[in-house]
Amino acid sequence: MIKLSVNNRDVEVPEGTSILDAAGELGIKVPTLCHFKLDDFDIENKAGSCRVCVVEVEGRPTLAPSCCTPATDGMKVKTNSVRAINARRSMLDLLLSNHPKDCLTCQRNLDCELQRLAGEMGLHQILFEGEQMEHEVDRANQSIVRDPNKCIMCRRCETACNVMQTVGILSAVDRGFDAVVMPTSKRSLDDTKCTFCGQCVQACPTGALTAVNRSYDVWRGLNHPAKFKVVQTAPAVRVALGEAFGMAPGSVSTGKMVAALRKLGFDRVFDTDFAADLTIMEETTELIGRLTSGENLPILTSCCPGWVKFFEHQFPDLINIPSTAKSPQQMFGAIAKTYYAEKAGIAPDNMLVASVMPCLAKKYEAARDEFAPNGIRDVDIVISTRELANMIKEAGIQFMDLDESDFDNPLGESTGAGVIFGATGGVLEAALRTAADWLSDEPIEDVDFTAVRGLSGIREATVTVAGKDVRVAIASGLGNARNLLEKIQKGEAEYEAIEIMACPGGCINGGGQPSIKGDTSILEKRRQALYVIDGDKAIRKSHENPSIQKLYKEFLGQPGSERAHKLLHTHYTERENA
């Protein structure tokens, strides 16, 4: 243990603790900007680059960046000396001098760390004005807007993209005043192997990386007199949306969310959970087929569009292993515009399908070429949890005062297996529930496959399904996925089924969710909330969903049927690894 004093107060910390954390022990919060830490994922951006967190250390000739200076025994630290405060203000002054001052129209308005710091420090004037960077804004893709002019070189996105996700797109280019974070070869993100997972957007403290905002398109759609407006909401949205309205992390706001969507003007409010159940029907059929034949194992899940794009670029040799089942979002669109449209007597091209997703890659996914049969898109517009929250506020809906409301049927009926898709391990657990039932003579009693649950990056388990051992693995976060895949490539590991989600923790930590601001405990709360919903459901196995059973009976026939294949399955394309 090390003893030091911060602002004349003594504190004892373990060796290796930074000054920042030592001060934190005393409740002293030193302002930071480039520092970014995701405890549960062992990710830390310790660039030491912004110099906002500098403090005075007795006997040291220069100020010390508290985020990366280890505390030492007997150290005397002053966080708020005039010298430190002046330096800190100057750093912010310099950053702002090279930053567009369009806060009012910036996507990050009121959600920007730079803006907040400037406010807290009361910076009212920029002393050192001068030339600013001039870069083109990259709006070429469906998911992420990149405005390098707002980059402050904190390198947080670089850590997210390279260290956490190992996608390897974003990195600093050029040097000196021209240094800025850019995608490979300064190309548009669209031209790279970016997976649009959006973790960079979550890491960015300013408006340099933001989500493409489609809420205006939703407004236009909602105001279209002739269109029949349908919306689906992904499992993870309901356990995070409330945070945008001040609800405690982990609060479940399904009922209010449905009510709000109805108020916004949707004709039908459906649930992606329904489609998740449908996904299980198809995917489990595939799993059992492969288990029985012993061929083409392991099966990899394919619900996550970030993950799909990742392997298309970086693991082309594995392109035949993932399940061919479309993601729940796309299955929903396909069924809504065929089965439901027919049932409700609506022309498919007159139906607007919107999605509310915790994800930015879903925006990209909906726009993929193969998801527009006969020129009609399965899903027309995708908005994120954050965009929905903003639309609710924009519409003046008092979210907290709303009476709870239920999803419409039939595409709103779902099981507990559907809702856990929102957390890492959930898809696999849902599949195991169904597989176990189908392979056993009698329905299983215990549906809780707790071995596959949790937040850790890679989990392995051997579960017993109908008396047979099935080796499964779960990875969340693309860096973990890469490790797992490389193990398989090297023949160091063998599994029958693997679930992969691009974002660490799964969809609850998606790029479109309200920011957790580095507090990974929020994810645990969201995760638990999903399992509470699951536990509360009367039906917890996808194949027992009556609406699903009806869908097969009336429309699809059997899982894996020709029609099911046409509507619910897809293919993958090898893409340039650059």
Partner 1 sequence: MLSADTKPRRTSGVRADSGLLNALHALQAEHGYVPRQEAMALSRRLGVPLARIFEVLTFYSYFRLEEPGRITLSVCDGTSCHLQEGPVLLKAIQALLGIGAGEATPDGAYQLNVVRCLGCCSCSPVLMVDDKIYSQVDPADLPGILKKHPPTAPKEAN
Partner 2 sequence: MSTITPLKDRDALSTWAADLKTERASGAPVVIRVSMGTCGIAAKTTPVLEALQSEIRSQQKESQIEIVQTGCMGLCHSEPTIEVYDRQTQQSIFYGNVKPEQAPTLIREESSQAFGVDVLTQNWYRPEETDADVETAQARIVLRNTGRIDPESIADYVGTQGYAALANVVTTMQPDEVTQTMIDAGLRGRGGGGFPTGVKWQFAAKQPAGEKYVICNADEGDPGAFMDRAVLEGDPHAVLEAMAISGFAIGAAQGVVYIRAEYPLAIERLELAIQQARDCGLLGTNILGSGFDFDIELKYGAGAFVCGEETALIHSIEGLRGEPIFKPPFPAVEGLWEKPTIVNNVETLANICAIMRRGAKWFRQIGTEKCPGTKVFALAGKVKRVGLVEVPMGTTLRDIIFGVGQGIANDRAFKAVQTGGPSGGCLKTEDLDTPIDYESLRALGSMMGSGGMIVMDEDDCMVNIAKYFLEFTLDESCGRCTPCRIGNKRLHEMLVKVCSGRADMRTLEKLRQLSDTIKDTSLCGLGQTSPNPVLSTLRQFRREYLDHVMNHKCTAGVCSALVRYDINERCVGCTLCARNCPVSCITGAPKEHHEIDQERCIKCGVCQQACKFHAVDKH
Active site residue 365: yes
Considering the complex, state which of residue 26 and residue 68 has its C-beta at the smaller distance from partner 2.
Answer: 68
Instruction: List the interface residues with partner 2, window 101-130 (CB under 8 A).
Output: 127-128, 130
| Beta pairing partners, 99 | none
Residue 184 binding partner per list partner 2, partner 1, none, with a CB distance cut-off of 5 to 8 Å that depends on partner kind = partner 1
Token reading at 400? 């907290």
Token reading at 168? 């390897």
Contact in structure between 324 and 569 (CB atoms under 8 Å): yes
Active site residue 286: yes
Residue 69 binding partner per list partner 2, partner 1, none, with a CB distance cut-off of 5 to 8 Å that depends on partner kind = partner 2
Which of 47, 164, 478, 568 binds partner 2 (CB under 8 A)? It is 47
Contact in structure between 575 and 314 (CB atoms under 8 Å): no
Instruction: List the interface residues with partner 1, window 349-388 (CB under 8 A).
Output: none
Instruction: List the interface residues with partner 2, window 166-225 (CB under 8 A).
Output: 172, 174-179
Considering the complex, state which of residue 174 and residue 406 has its C-beta at the smaller distance from partner 1.
Answer: 174
Does residue 37 interact with partner 2 by CB under 8 A?
Answer: no
Nearest-approach distance from CB 489 to partner 2, in angstroms = 24
User: Measuring CA to CA, which residue among 150, 147, 127, 129 is closest to residue 138?
Assistant: 147
Using CA atoms in the order 283, 289, 294, 298, what is the torsion angle rounded to 10 degrees?
A: 0
Which amino acid belongs to residue 17? T
Beta-carbon contacts of 195 under 8 Å, excluding residues fewer than 6 positions away, are 165, 167, 305, 306, 307, 309, 310, 313, 361, 478, 502
Which of 86, 109, 185, 489 binds partner 2 (CB under 8 A)? It is 86
The number of residues in the chain equals: 578
Which of 5, 97, 107, 162 binds partner 1 (CB under 8 A)? It is 162
- Catalytic residue chosen out of the listed positions 143, 323, 384, 476: 323
- Report the alpha-carbon distance of residue 493 to residue 510 in Å, rounded: 28
Nearest-approach distance from CB 164 to partner 1, in angstroms = 9
- Report the alpha-carbon distance of residue 568 to residue 414 in Å, rounded: 18
Active site residue 136: no
Does residue 578 interact with partner 2 by CB under 8 A?
Answer: no
Active site residue 404: no
- Catalytic residue chosen out of the listed positions 370, 494, 574, 576: 370
Nearest-approach distance from CB 34 to partner 2, in angstroms = 9
Give me the 167-196 binding string for partner 1, x by CB under 8 A, dash otherwise. -xxxxxxxx-------xxxx----------
| Packed helices 385-394 and 215-222: angle between N→C axes, nearest 10 degrees | 60
Residue 98 binding partner per list partner 1, partner 2, none, with a CB distance cut-off of 5 to 8 Å that depends on partner kind = partner 2
Residue 578 binding partner per list partner 1, partner 2, none, with a CB distance cut-off of 5 to 8 Å that depends on partner kind = partner 1
Backbone angles phi, psi at 180, to 5 degrees: -160, 155
Q: Which residue has the tokens 């809906």?
A: 397
Active site residue 34: no
Q: Integer distance in angstroms from the first to the last C-alpha of the chain? A: 47
Residue 152 binding partner per list partner 2, partner 1, none, with a CB distance cut-off of 5 to 8 Å that depends on partner kind = partner 2
Nearest-approach distance from CB 147 to partner 1, in angstroms = 19
320 HSE (CA, 13 A, CB side): 5
Q: Which residue has the tokens 């970030």?
A: 306
**Eight-state DSSP code of residue 403:** P
Considering the complex, state which of residue 46 and residue 563 has its C-beta at the smaller distance from partner 1.
Answer: 46
307 HSE (CA, 13 A, CB side): 33
Which of 18, 159, 233, 570 binds partner 1 (CB under 8 A)? It is 159
Contact in structure between 243 and 257 (CB atoms under 8 Å): no
Binding site for partner 2 (CB under 8 A): 46-52, 54, 62-63, 65, 68-70, 83, 86-87, 90-91, 94-95, 97-98, 127-128, 130-131, 152-153, 172, 174-179
Q: Where along the sequence are the contacts to partner 1 (CB under 8 A)? A: 46, 159, 162-163, 166, 168-175, 183-186, 479, 578
Residues forming the active site: 283, 286, 303, 323, 362, 365, 370, 507
